[in-house]
Amino acid sequence: ETVFVNGELMDRKEAKVDIEDRGYQFGDGIYEVVRVYGGKTFTMKEHMERFYQSAEKIKLHIPHEMDELTGLINRLIEANSIHDGIVYLQATRGVASRQHHFPASDVKGSVVAYTKEVPVPQSQMDQGVTVKLIEDVRWLRCDIKSLNLLGNLLAKEEAASEGHFEAILHRGDLVTEGSSSNAFMVKDGVVRTHPATNLILNGITRRVIRDVAGSEGIPFQEDAFTLDELLSADEVFIASTTSEVMPVVKIGERLVGEGHPGAVTRKLQGAFRKRIEQEAPV
Protein backbone atom coordinates (compact mmCIF):
# COMPACT_ATOMS: atom_id res chain seq x y z
CA GLU A 1 0.00 0.00 0.00
CA THR A 2 1.32 3.40 -1.04
CA VAL A 3 0.67 6.49 1.08
CA PHE A 4 1.49 10.18 0.68
CA VAL A 5 3.56 11.87 3.42
CA ASN A 6 4.93 15.41 3.17
CA GLY A 7 5.45 15.53 -0.56
CA GLU A 8 6.45 11.91 -1.13
CA LEU A 9 4.71 8.71 -2.10
CA MET A 10 6.03 5.86 0.05
CA ASP A 11 5.15 2.45 1.42
CA ARG A 12 2.77 2.65 4.40
CA LYS A 13 5.33 0.77 6.52
CA GLU A 14 7.82 3.63 6.04
CA ALA A 15 5.35 6.32 7.15
CA LYS A 16 5.97 7.80 10.62
CA VAL A 17 4.22 10.36 12.82
CA ASP A 18 6.25 12.39 15.32
CA ILE A 19 4.85 12.21 18.89
CA GLU A 20 4.91 16.02 18.96
CA ASP A 21 2.95 16.48 15.76
CA ARG A 22 0.28 19.08 16.63
CA GLY A 23 -2.38 17.04 14.89
CA TYR A 24 -1.63 14.15 17.22
CA GLN A 25 -1.38 16.30 20.36
CA PHE A 26 -4.05 18.96 19.82
CA GLY A 27 -6.13 17.92 16.82
CA ASP A 28 -4.59 21.10 15.36
CA GLY A 29 -5.37 20.40 11.73
CA ILE A 30 -7.98 19.78 9.06
CA TYR A 31 -8.96 17.00 6.67
CA GLU A 32 -11.02 15.90 3.69
CA VAL A 33 -12.54 12.65 2.47
CA VAL A 34 -12.90 12.43 -1.32
CA ARG A 35 -14.95 9.71 -3.03
CA VAL A 36 -13.48 7.56 -5.80
CA TYR A 37 -15.88 5.84 -8.21
CA GLY A 38 -14.53 3.54 -10.91
CA GLY A 39 -10.97 4.75 -10.28
CA LYS A 40 -11.89 8.44 -10.69
CA THR A 41 -12.43 11.11 -8.03
CA PHE A 42 -15.89 12.68 -7.65
CA THR A 43 -16.16 16.47 -6.94
CA MET A 44 -12.40 16.65 -6.34
CA LYS A 45 -12.22 20.39 -7.02
CA GLU A 46 -14.92 21.16 -4.43
CA HIS A 47 -13.15 19.04 -1.80
CA MET A 48 -9.77 20.62 -2.55
CA GLU A 49 -11.26 24.10 -2.32
CA ARG A 50 -12.87 23.29 1.02
CA PHE A 51 -9.56 21.81 2.23
CA TYR A 52 -7.71 25.07 1.51
CA GLN A 53 -10.60 27.10 2.98
CA SER A 54 -10.56 25.06 6.22
CA ALA A 55 -6.78 25.59 6.38
CA GLU A 56 -7.18 29.33 5.93
CA LYS A 57 -9.85 29.50 8.66
CA ILE A 58 -7.34 28.08 11.18
CA LYS A 59 -4.41 30.06 9.71
CA LEU A 60 -2.65 26.90 8.56
CA HIS A 61 -0.41 27.13 5.52
CA ILE A 62 -0.54 24.12 3.19
CA PRO A 63 2.99 23.72 1.76
CA HIS A 64 1.67 22.57 -1.66
CA GLU A 65 -0.20 24.32 -4.46
CA MET A 66 -3.70 22.95 -5.02
CA ASP A 67 -2.86 21.62 -8.51
CA GLU A 68 0.24 19.84 -7.23
CA LEU A 69 -1.65 18.21 -4.36
CA THR A 70 -4.47 17.18 -6.71
CA GLY A 71 -1.92 15.54 -9.01
CA LEU A 72 -0.28 13.69 -6.13
CA ILE A 73 -3.64 12.37 -4.95
CA ASN A 74 -4.47 11.12 -8.42
CA ARG A 75 -1.10 9.33 -8.51
CA LEU A 76 -1.88 7.75 -5.14
CA ILE A 77 -5.25 6.43 -6.37
CA GLU A 78 -3.50 4.95 -9.40
CA ALA A 79 -0.63 3.46 -7.36
CA ASN A 80 -3.14 1.63 -5.13
CA SER A 81 -5.48 0.72 -8.03
CA ILE A 82 -8.49 2.04 -6.08
CA HIS A 83 -11.77 1.27 -7.82
CA ASP A 84 -14.62 2.33 -5.47
CA GLY A 85 -13.12 3.93 -2.40
CA ILE A 86 -11.97 7.08 -0.68
CA VAL A 87 -8.94 9.30 -0.32
CA TYR A 88 -8.31 10.62 3.20
CA LEU A 89 -6.30 13.87 3.13
CA GLN A 90 -5.08 15.61 6.27
CA ALA A 91 -2.96 18.61 7.18
CA THR A 92 -1.67 19.51 10.64
CA ARG A 93 0.31 22.47 11.92
CA GLY A 94 3.42 20.29 11.98
CA VAL A 95 5.94 19.18 14.57
CA ALA A 96 7.05 21.50 17.40
CA SER A 97 7.75 21.43 21.13
CA ARG A 98 4.36 21.27 22.82
CA GLN A 99 2.85 24.65 23.58
CA HIS A 100 -0.58 25.99 22.73
CA HIS A 101 0.43 28.97 20.63
CA PHE A 102 1.49 28.41 17.04
CA PRO A 103 5.07 27.31 16.29
CA ALA A 104 7.57 29.58 14.51
CA SER A 105 6.74 30.27 10.88
CA ASP A 106 9.58 28.03 9.64
CA VAL A 107 7.76 24.93 10.99
CA LYS A 108 6.08 23.39 7.97
CA GLY A 109 2.63 21.80 8.15
CA SER A 110 2.42 18.00 7.82
CA VAL A 111 0.30 16.78 4.91
CA VAL A 112 -0.62 13.10 4.55
CA ALA A 113 -3.02 11.12 2.38
CA TYR A 114 -3.99 7.50 1.98
CA THR A 115 -6.59 5.56 0.04
CA LYS A 116 -9.01 2.79 0.95
CA GLU A 117 -11.51 0.64 -0.95
CA VAL A 118 -14.99 1.50 0.35
CA PRO A 119 -18.05 -0.08 -1.25
CA VAL A 120 -21.20 1.91 -2.00
CA PRO A 121 -23.58 1.12 0.95
CA GLN A 122 -26.22 -0.19 -1.48
CA SER A 123 -28.46 -2.23 0.84
CA GLN A 124 -28.66 0.60 3.40
CA MET A 125 -29.41 3.06 0.61
CA ASP A 126 -32.18 0.74 -0.62
CA GLN A 127 -33.75 -0.03 2.75
CA GLY A 128 -33.03 3.11 4.74
CA VAL A 129 -31.41 3.45 8.15
CA THR A 130 -32.37 4.51 11.67
CA VAL A 131 -31.01 7.47 13.63
CA LYS A 132 -30.96 8.78 17.19
CA LEU A 133 -31.54 12.43 18.13
CA ILE A 134 -28.71 13.85 20.24
CA GLU A 135 -28.07 17.35 21.61
CA ASP A 136 -25.39 19.15 19.59
CA VAL A 137 -22.74 20.19 22.15
CA ARG A 138 -19.95 20.91 19.65
CA TRP A 139 -18.11 24.22 19.33
CA LEU A 140 -19.42 27.10 17.19
CA ARG A 141 -17.10 26.62 14.18
CA CYS A 142 -18.59 23.46 12.69
CA ASP A 143 -18.02 25.02 9.23
CA ILE A 144 -14.33 24.06 9.59
CA LYS A 145 -13.52 20.44 8.69
CA SER A 146 -11.32 20.19 11.77
CA LEU A 147 -9.58 17.13 13.20
CA ASN A 148 -11.21 17.96 16.55
CA LEU A 149 -14.10 15.50 16.27
CA LEU A 150 -14.76 14.50 19.90
CA GLY A 151 -18.26 15.98 19.92
CA ASN A 152 -19.05 14.11 16.70
CA LEU A 153 -17.47 10.87 17.96
CA LEU A 154 -19.38 10.87 21.25
CA ALA A 155 -22.67 11.41 19.42
CA LYS A 156 -21.93 8.71 16.80
CA GLU A 157 -20.87 6.25 19.48
CA GLU A 158 -24.04 6.80 21.51
CA ALA A 159 -26.21 6.28 18.41
CA ALA A 160 -24.20 3.30 17.09
CA SER A 161 -24.10 1.53 20.47
CA GLU A 162 -27.91 1.50 20.32
CA GLY A 163 -27.90 0.07 16.81
CA HIS A 164 -28.40 3.30 14.86
CA PHE A 165 -26.58 4.30 11.69
CA GLU A 166 -26.22 7.96 12.62
CA ALA A 167 -26.87 10.62 15.26
CA ILE A 168 -28.92 13.61 14.11
CA LEU A 169 -27.84 16.61 16.18
CA HIS A 170 -29.95 19.52 17.41
CA ARG A 171 -29.07 22.76 19.21
CA GLY A 172 -32.03 23.27 21.46
CA ASP A 173 -35.03 22.99 19.18
CA LEU A 174 -33.23 23.33 15.83
CA VAL A 175 -31.78 20.41 13.88
CA THR A 176 -28.24 21.14 12.71
CA GLU A 177 -26.72 18.09 10.95
CA GLY A 178 -25.60 14.48 11.46
CA SER A 179 -22.44 13.52 13.37
CA SER A 180 -20.74 12.85 10.02
CA SER A 181 -23.42 13.90 7.52
CA ASN A 182 -25.89 16.65 6.69
CA ALA A 183 -29.57 16.20 7.57
CA PHE A 184 -32.61 16.86 5.36
CA MET A 185 -36.38 16.63 5.71
CA VAL A 186 -39.11 16.62 3.08
CA LYS A 187 -42.60 18.05 3.72
CA ASP A 188 -45.24 18.46 1.00
CA GLY A 189 -42.60 17.90 -1.68
CA VAL A 190 -40.19 20.58 -0.36
CA VAL A 191 -36.67 19.59 0.76
CA ARG A 192 -35.26 21.51 3.73
CA THR A 193 -31.81 21.57 5.32
CA HIS A 194 -29.94 23.85 7.74
CA PRO A 195 -28.34 26.86 6.01
CA ALA A 196 -24.55 26.78 5.54
CA THR A 197 -23.68 28.79 8.66
CA ASN A 198 -20.98 28.25 11.32
CA LEU A 199 -23.25 25.60 12.91
CA ILE A 200 -22.79 22.95 10.18
CA LEU A 201 -20.25 21.67 7.72
CA ASN A 202 -21.30 22.74 4.24
CA GLY A 203 -21.19 19.23 2.77
CA ILE A 204 -20.10 18.72 -0.82
CA THR A 205 -22.83 16.05 -1.11
CA ARG A 206 -25.32 18.63 0.24
CA ARG A 207 -24.29 21.00 -2.56
CA VAL A 208 -24.65 18.30 -5.24
CA ILE A 209 -28.12 17.45 -3.86
CA ARG A 210 -29.14 21.12 -3.96
CA ASP A 211 -27.92 21.26 -7.55
CA VAL A 212 -29.69 18.09 -8.73
CA ALA A 213 -32.88 19.11 -6.86
CA GLY A 214 -32.78 22.28 -8.99
CA SER A 215 -32.48 20.32 -12.24
CA GLU A 216 -35.22 17.88 -11.16
CA GLY A 217 -37.60 20.74 -10.28
CA ILE A 218 -37.69 19.75 -6.58
CA PRO A 219 -38.03 22.82 -4.29
CA PHE A 220 -35.00 23.08 -1.96
CA GLN A 221 -34.90 25.44 1.02
CA GLU A 222 -31.88 26.23 3.17
CA ASP A 223 -33.95 26.94 6.22
CA ALA A 224 -33.41 25.36 9.65
CA PHE A 225 -36.20 23.11 10.95
CA THR A 226 -37.33 22.16 14.45
CA LEU A 227 -37.45 18.75 16.12
CA ASP A 228 -41.26 18.78 15.80
CA GLU A 229 -40.99 19.50 12.07
CA LEU A 230 -38.46 16.67 11.70
CA LEU A 231 -40.71 14.24 13.57
CA SER A 232 -43.71 15.10 11.42
CA ALA A 233 -41.77 15.11 8.11
CA ASP A 234 -42.97 13.01 5.15
CA GLU A 235 -39.38 11.92 4.45
CA VAL A 236 -35.99 12.31 6.10
CA PHE A 237 -32.55 11.59 4.69
CA ILE A 238 -28.91 12.24 5.51
CA ALA A 239 -26.06 12.77 3.06
CA SER A 240 -22.30 12.54 2.96
CA THR A 241 -19.42 11.59 0.70
CA THR A 242 -19.61 7.91 1.73
CA SER A 243 -23.38 7.68 2.47
CA GLU A 244 -24.56 9.56 -0.66
CA VAL A 245 -28.34 10.12 -0.27
CA MET A 246 -29.25 7.85 2.67
CA PRO A 247 -32.95 7.45 3.55
CA VAL A 248 -33.86 7.62 7.26
CA VAL A 249 -36.87 5.42 8.05
CA LYS A 250 -36.89 5.62 11.84
CA ILE A 251 -35.93 8.30 14.39
CA GLY A 252 -35.47 6.61 17.74
CA GLU A 253 -38.55 4.39 17.99
CA ARG A 254 -40.65 6.58 15.71
CA LEU A 255 -41.31 5.74 12.03
CA VAL A 256 -40.67 8.41 9.40
CA GLY A 257 -43.81 8.51 7.23
CA GLU A 258 -44.76 4.88 6.59
CA GLY A 259 -41.28 3.68 7.55
CA HIS A 260 -40.01 3.32 3.98
CA PRO A 261 -37.74 5.52 1.84
CA GLY A 262 -39.94 8.21 0.26
CA ALA A 263 -40.51 9.23 -3.37
CA VAL A 264 -38.53 12.50 -3.24
CA THR A 265 -35.58 10.73 -1.57
CA ARG A 266 -35.68 8.04 -4.29
CA LYS A 267 -35.75 10.68 -7.02
CA LEU A 268 -32.73 12.45 -5.48
CA GLN A 269 -30.86 9.14 -5.15
CA GLY A 270 -31.44 8.48 -8.86
CA ALA A 271 -30.40 11.99 -9.88
CA PHE A 272 -27.32 11.79 -7.65
CA ARG A 273 -26.28 8.51 -9.35
CA LYS A 274 -26.67 10.14 -12.75
CA ARG A 275 -24.48 13.00 -11.57
CA ILE A 276 -21.77 10.56 -10.53
CA GLU A 277 -21.81 9.16 -14.06
CA GLN A 278 -21.57 12.67 -15.56
CA GLU A 279 -19.24 14.24 -12.91
CA ALA A 280 -20.26 17.86 -13.46
CA PRO A 281 -19.02 20.67 -11.18
CA VAL A 282 -21.47 22.17 -8.64
Q: Which residues bind ligand PLP (CB under 6 A)?
A: 33, 152, 177, 180-182, 201, 203-206, 240-241
8-state DSSP, 84: S
CB of 16 to ligand PLP, least distance (A): 27
How does strand 40-42 pair with strand 254-255?
unpaired
CB of 95 to ligand PLP, least distance (A): 26
Please say if 250 is a catalytic residue.
Answer: no
Of 21 and 177, the one with the shorter C-beta distance to ligand PLP is 177
Query: Cα(46)–Cα(40) distance, rounded to whole angstroms?
Result: 15
- What is the phi/psi pair of residue 268, to 5°? -70, -40
| 189: alpha, beta or left? (left if phi > 0; alpha if psi -120 to 50) | left
- What is the phi/psi pair of residue 45, to 5°? -60, -45
Rg (Cα) of the chain, in Å, rounded? 19
Residue 145: CA atoms inside 13 Å, Cβ hemisphere, count?
24
Beta bridge partners of 40: 37
CB of 276 to ligand PLP, least distance (A): 13
Of 30 and 69, the one with the shorter C-beta distance to ligand PLP is 30
Q: Of the residues 132, 145, 250, 274, which is catalytic?
A: 145
When CB distances to ligand PLP are compared, the closest residue is 203
With the C-alpha atoms ordered 50, 54, 57, 62, is the resulting torsion angle positive or negative? negative
CB of 142 to ligand PLP, least distance (A): 6
CB of 274 to ligand PLP, least distance (A): 18
Of 43 and 130, the one with the shorter C-beta distance to ligand PLP is 43
- The secondary structure of 210-274, three-state, reads HHHHHHHCCCEEECCCEHHHHHCCCEEEEEECCCEEEEEEEECCEECCCCCCCHHHHHHHHHHHH
Query: Cα(19)–Cα(101) distance, rounded to whole angstroms?
Result: 17
Query: Cα(17)–Cα(245) distance, rounded to whole angstroms?
Result: 35
CB of 186 to ligand PLP, least distance (A): 18
User: Which residues are marked as active site?
Assistant: 145
